[in-house]
């Protein structure tokens, strides 16, 4: 039974090779944002919220190398903002209100949605687009709504939520590794 899950995982992760140019283009967006002094805003629901927090932590604290702390904010962590927004405006605006308040030109917004159809992610990405902020989507194979909005979308070729999330965190770790390769003097 475990071997079946492991084989499915290996198949999905191996298929990411086909997305190498998109994954690298997204890494370059992250690096360019950081080099010019911008910040990264990340968001997701459920397990994708945990992924957003995980990636933000790797950027702020460190991944593998000691380096300058980089500005990254997971929009999933402030319970007062989240509950006030949900109560006063609705769950669909959970992240868009924060993007409106925090995103500025030169920043980057990353939306993580295994389905690619999360209304609150889509709405926030549209607000980012209106502000003129670059955006990255991390989705599953069916992520067409997010893909239509973002600067760069990486659609993991799977419909299994767990396999998509495993691939998302692998991609996030790769991005952090790429950030770690730059010399200290490159950061704004």
pLDDT at residue 143, as a whole number: 64
CA distance 167 to 69: 25
pLDDT at residue 188, as a whole number: 61
Under DSSP, is residue 87 helix (H, G, I), strand (E, B) or coil?
helix
Q: Work out how many domains the chain is built from and give that number.
A: 1
For the chain, what's the residue count?
188
pLDDT at residue 142, as a whole number: 76
| CA 138 from centroid of its chain's CA atoms | 6
pLDDT at residue 119, as a whole number: 98
Containing structural domain, residue 21: 2-186
Q: Supply the DSSP string of 138-150, one letter for each residue.
A: EEETT-HHHHHHS
pLDDT at residue 183, as a whole number: 78
pLDDT at residue 89, as a whole number: 97
Please, which residues have CB within 8 angstroms of residue 29's CB and are 6 or more apart in sequence?
A: 108, 134, 136, 151, 152
Give the orientation angle of helix 20-35 with respect to helix 161-180, to 10 degrees: 50
pLDDT at residue 79, as a whole number: 97
CA distance 175 to 168: 11
pLDDT at residue 47, as a whole number: 98
Weakly modelled stretches of the chain, pLDDT under 50: none
CATH no. for residue 120? 3.40.50.10490
């Amino acid at each position: 039974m475990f071997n079946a899950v492991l084989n499915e995982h290996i198949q999905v992760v191996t298929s990411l090779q086909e997305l190498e140019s998109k994954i690298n283009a997204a890494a370059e967006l992250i690096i360019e944002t950081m080099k010019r002094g911008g910040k990264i805003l990340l968001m997701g629901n459920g397990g994708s919220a945990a992924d957003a927090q995980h990636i933000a932590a790797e950027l702020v604290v460190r991944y593998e190398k000691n380096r300058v702390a980089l500005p990254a904010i997971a929009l999933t962590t402030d319970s007062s903002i989240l509950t006030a927004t949900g109560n006063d405006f609705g769950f669909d605006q959970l992240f868009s209100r924060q993007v409106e308040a925090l995103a500025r030109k030169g920043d980057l917004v990353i939306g993580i949605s295994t389905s690619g159809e999360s209304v609150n992610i889509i709405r926030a990405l549209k607000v980012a687009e209106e502000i003129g902020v670059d955006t990255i989507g991390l989705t599953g194979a069916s992520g067409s709504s997010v893909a239509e909005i973002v600067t760069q979308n990486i659609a993991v070729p799977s419909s299994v939520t767990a396999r998509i999330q495993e691939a998302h965190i692998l991609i996030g770790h790769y991005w952090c590794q790429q950030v770690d390769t730059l010399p200290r003097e490159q950061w704004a």
